[in-house]
Amino acid sequence: MKKNDVVTVEVTDIGIGGEGIGKVDGYTLFIKDAVIGDTVEVKVMKAKKNYGYARLMRIVKESAFRVSARCPEARRCGGCQIQEMDYRKQLEFKNTKVRNNLIRLGSVEEELLDQIMEPIAGMEEPFRYRNKAQFPIGVDKEGNLIAGFYAGRTHQIIPVPNRDCVLGVPENKVILDQILDYMREEKISAYDEERHKGLVRHVLVRYGFTTKEIMVCLIINGDKLPCSEKLLEKLTKIPGMTSITYNINKEKTNVIMGSKVCPLWGQTYITDYIGNVKYQISPLSFYQVNPVQTEVLYGTALEYAGLTGKETVWDVYCGIGTISLFLAQKAQKVYGVEIVPQAIEDAKHNAEINEITNAEFFVGKAEEVLPEYYADYAKEHPGEHARADVIVVDPPRKGCERSVLDTMVQMEPERIVYVSCDSATLARDVKYLRENGYEIRKVKATDMFPMSVHVETVVLLSQLKQK
Ligand code: SAH
């Protein structure tokens, strides 16, 4: 096979990035936008020795799992990878991904998984689930203002058709229309990334699914937003508008937000709930983007934690304390650990507004905080060691550092609840914990990001010596 070859191939598998995989005389081709079961005509774009990448040219025969995309830009836009795959097939693909990783990388026996793996939690309505959107603002070739999304792996802005992304709330469109009108009328420029010139870089919109409160934040390459009263006239008419701010980012950087938020109208935050826990969310706060499935995910974590009210619980990689506060209501004491100081500020504040007094938070790297806590405890309590009843971890993609896992094992928790956004590193860590006195008891995947290839998983491990 060589570059520019055109071949017809049947798609027989799905790659980890959601792409179709087909074989031509034993040679593997990865084909973006091809769905398992399709027969497609493709053009080879890049040919390696044993495998290559091909572009979908024509669908010869449609798969039974193919559906038409709701968004006309689904293929170009970097936001969705598998919008053309039937949602039930998406769920099966994600569940299989978790299962295969646990088997191949975690050495978990298939028979055991058959017994303990619960069905994946999907969404009833897998669109319009995102409570947050960040639209880059730019101009098209003719110089017209556009708001959109980045194309996959590039910084080319694709205008969102009708400014309505089908993963976000319909309010986004109304807000973007008003902001673009204001920019046109007041001759406000869009930021040009290459020349590092122009004013408006991004528009951030957050929507409280429970409270229906709306936050708008304009990220600008400057200190002031000219004629902002004209903008406020338009935006404050939108029902639910609660917070309008701008954020200053004058750096030549891919990072969207700068550190300074300036109020324009209303509060500088919106309020929302996950379960019965209230959160105040400011433009810079981290907050889960799919509130419906977050509640499902944390519900599973809470169930697996099996709390009775007497437990000491650690929530490692706690972010703004979402899981900690969820657990605190059912535990005696919760300790949270998180590397980002601002997130811990938010966690403490959220504990306060919910009148939760049994949660304590530490700022620092888990791989430092946990071993230090353990060592200090031993010094202060000769002959004893620090213990926990339950440890919950929700690490970033790279999983837990070895020293975190080692300290967890030393603390001898009855149960470990592992929440993961990357089932490959989850499997690696499960393997290590199984070699160190723990057994995997339950697994449940949750679909937090329909139409994308990401999948979240919760695993329960408990001490081997008890059943
Ligand atoms: N459970 C949280 C989010 C977890 S995401 C929630 O639902 O809100 C993973 C978190 O780990 C992030 O907040 C990230 O800032 C933090 N983190 C990353 N590396 C870390 C480290 N080495 N030590 C502690 N926290 C870390």
Residue to substitute in 279, 339, 361, 456 for testing ligand 1 pocket (most ligand atoms within 8 angstroms of CB): 339
Q: Is the CB of 396 under 6 A from ligand 1?
A: yes
Mean pLDDT of the chain: 95
Q: Is the pLDDT of residue 151 over 90?
A: no
Query: In this model, does residue 217 exceed pLDDT 80?
Result: yes
Looking at residue 466, its pLDDT comes to 59
For a mutational test of ligand 1's pocket, the pick from 281, 287, 317, i.e. the residue with the most ligand atoms closer than 8 A to its C-beta, is: 317
Express each pLDDT in 233-242 by its tens digit. Answer: 999 999 999 9
Q: Is the CB of 371 under 6 A from ligand 1?
A: no
Calculate how far, in angstroms, residue 331's C-alpha sits from the geometric centre of ligand 1.
Answer: 21
**Higher pLDDT among residues 268 and 152, named by residue:** 268
Of the residues 80, 165, 227, 421, which is catalytic? 421
Asked whether 422 lines ligand 1 (CB < 6 A), one says no
Contact 113, 103 (CB under 8 A): yes
From ligand 1's centre to the CA of 396, what distance in Å? 6
Structural domains in the chain?
Answer: 6-61 (2.40.50.140), 114-120+290-463 (3.40.50.150), 132-274 (2.40.50.1070)
Tell me, what's the pLDDT at 78? 83
Q: What is the pLDDT of residue 272?
A: 96
Is the pLDDT assigned to residue 467 strictly greater than 60? no
395: left (phi over 0), alpha (psi -120 to 50) or beta: beta
Q: Are 356 and 331 in contact (CB under 8 A)?
A: no
pLDDT (tens digit per residue) in 440-456: 999 999 999 999 999 99
35: phi then psi, degrees, rounded to nearest 5: -105, 145
Determine which residue's CA is closest to atom 8 belonging to ligand 1: 319
Query: What does the alpha-carbon distance between residue 238 and residue 403 come to, in Å, rounded to a whole number?
Result: 50
Write the CB contacts of 128 (distance below 8 Å, at least 6 apart in sequence): 166, 167, 168, 169, 170
Determine the pLDDT at residue 120: 98
Rounded average pLDDT over 179-191 = 97
Kindly give the distance from the C-alpha atom of residue 183 to the centroid of ligand 1, in angstroms, as a whole number: 37
Annotated binding site for S-adenosyl-L-methionine: 288, 317, 338, 394
314-348 tens-digit pLDDT = 999 999 999 999 999 999 999 999 999 989 999 99
Tell me the mean pLDDT in the region 298-313.
Answer: 97
Protein residue closest via CA to atom 3 of ligand 1: 319
Closest residue by Cα to atom 10, ligand 1, is 317
User: How much distance in Å is there from the Cα of 374 to the middle of ligand 1?
Assistant: 20
Compute the average pLDDT of residues 290-301: 96
Residue-wise pLDDT for 82-108, tens only, equals 999 999 999 999 999 999 999 999 999
Residue 311 — pLDDT band, cuts 50, 70, 90?
Answer: very high
Closest residue to atom 13 of ligand 1, CA basis: 319
pLDDT bucket at 192, cuts 50 / 70 / 90: very high
In b/e form, how buried is each residue of 372-400, taking b as 16+ CB within 10 angstroms?
A: ebbeeeeeeeeeeebebbbbbbbbeeebb
State the sign of the Cα–Cα–Cα–Cα dihedral 152, 155, 156, 158.
positive
Ligand 1: which atom is nearest the Cα of residue 315? 1
Ligand 1 lined by 392 (C-beta under 6 Å): no
**Ligand 1 mean position, distance from CA 320 (Å):** 9
Q: Are 126 and 446 in contact (CB under 8 A)?
A: no
Our answer to whether residue 421 is catalytic in this structure is yes
Regarding the beta carbon of 293 and ligand 1, being less than 6 Å apart is answered no
List residues forming the annotated binding site. 288, 317, 338, 394
Q: How far is the C-alpha of 175 from the C-alpha of 168, rounded, in Å? A: 12
